[in-house]
Amino acid sequence: MLNLVERNMTYTPSTDRYSHSVGYNYCGKSGLQFPKLSVGLWHNFGDVNNFDEAKNMLETAFDNGITHFDLANNYGTPAGSAERNFGKIMKESFANYRDELIISTKAGHTFWDGPYGDWGSRKHLIASLNQSLKRMELEYVDIFYSHRYDPNTPLEETMGALSDMVKQGKALYVGISKYPTDKARQAYRILSENGTPCLINQDKYNILTRDIEQSVLPLAKEKGVGFIAFSPLAQGMLSDKYLKGIPENSRAAQSFGFLQKDQITPEIVVKLKKLNEFAKKRGQTLAQMALAWCLHNSQVSSVIVGTSSVKQLKDNIGALNNIHFTDEELWLIGEIAG
* Interval 267-320: pLDDT, tens: 888 899 999 999 999 999 999 999 999 999 999 999 999 999 999 999 999 999
Q: Which pLDDT does position 2 carry in this prediction?
A: 47
Boundaries of every domain in the chain: 24-236+291-320
Question: What is the arithmetic mean of pLDDT over 134-139?
Answer: 98
Band of residue 241 on the pLDDT scale cut at 50, 70, 90: confident
Q: Which CATH superfamily is domain 24-236+291-320 in?
A: NADP-dependent oxidoreductase domain (3.20.20.100)
Residue 257 has pLDDT above 80, yes or no: no
- In this structure, the strands spanning 171-177 and 102-107 are unpaired
Residue 195 CB neighbours (<10 A): 9
Please say whether the beta carbons of 317 and 285 come within 8 A: no
- Better pLDDT: 109 or 266: 109
Q: Which pLDDT does position 247 carry in this prediction?
A: 56
> CB under 8 Å to 258, separation ≥6 — which residues?
235, 251
Q: Which residues are 34's β-sheet partners?
A: 25
- Better pLDDT: 126 or 262: 126
Band of residue 243 on the pLDDT scale cut at 50, 70, 90: confident
Please say whether the beta carbons of 71 and 86 come within 8 A: yes
Band of residue 251 on the pLDDT scale cut at 50, 70, 90: low
Q: What percent of the chain has pLDDT above 70?
A: 91
Q: Rounded to the nearest 10 degrees, what angle do helices 51-63 and 81-89 cross at?
A: 60
Residue 254 has pLDDT above 80, yes or no: no
pTM of the model: 0.92
Band of residue 259 on the pLDDT scale cut at 50, 70, 90: low
Please say whether the beta carbons of 167 and 132 come within 8 A: no
Report how far residue 273's alpha carbon sits from residue 242's, in angstroms, rounded to the nearest whole number. Answer: 9
Residue 200 has pLDDT above 60, yes or no: yes
Mean pLDDT of the chain: 93
Burial class (CB in 10 A: 0-12, 13-18, 19+), 27: buried
For every residue of 224-289, DSSP letters joined together read: T-EEEEE-TTTTTTSSSTTTTS--TTSGGG-TTSSS-GGGS-HHHHHHHHHHHHHHHHTTS-HHHH
Report how far residue 210's alpha carbon sits from residue 3's, in angstroms, rounded to the nearest whole number. Answer: 40
Report how far residue 235's alpha carbon sits from residue 227's, in angstroms, rounded to the nearest whole number. Answer: 19
Residue 5 has pLDDT above 90, yes or no: no
Residue 304 CB neighbours (<10 A): 22
Please say whether the beta carbons of 313 and 307 come within 8 A: yes
Report how far residue 255's alpha carbon sits from residue 162's, in angstroms, rounded to the nearest whole number. Answer: 34
Q: Which pLDDT does position 252 carry in this prediction?
A: 46
Task: Spell out the alpha helix ranges (H) of 41-146.
Answer: 51-63, 81-89, 122-136
* Interval 170-179: pLDDT, tens: 999 999 999 9
Q: Which pLDDT does position 143 carry in this prediction?
A: 99
Q: Which residues are 39's β-sheet partners?
A: 69, 305
Query: What's the sign of the alpha-carbon dihedral 270, 271, 277, 280?
Result: negative
Report how far residue 83's alpha carbon sits from residue 71's, in angstroms, rounded to the nearest whole number. Answer: 7
In degrees rounded to 5, what are phi and psi of residue 31? -95, 5
Band of residue 240 on the pLDDT scale cut at 50, 70, 90: confident
Residue 19 has pLDDT above 80, yes or no: yes
**Residue 31 CA from chain centroid, whole number:** 20
Burial code (b: 16+ CB inside 10 Å, e: under 16) for 151-163 equals: eebebeebbbbbb
Question: What is the arithmetic mean of pLDDT over 35-60?
Answer: 97
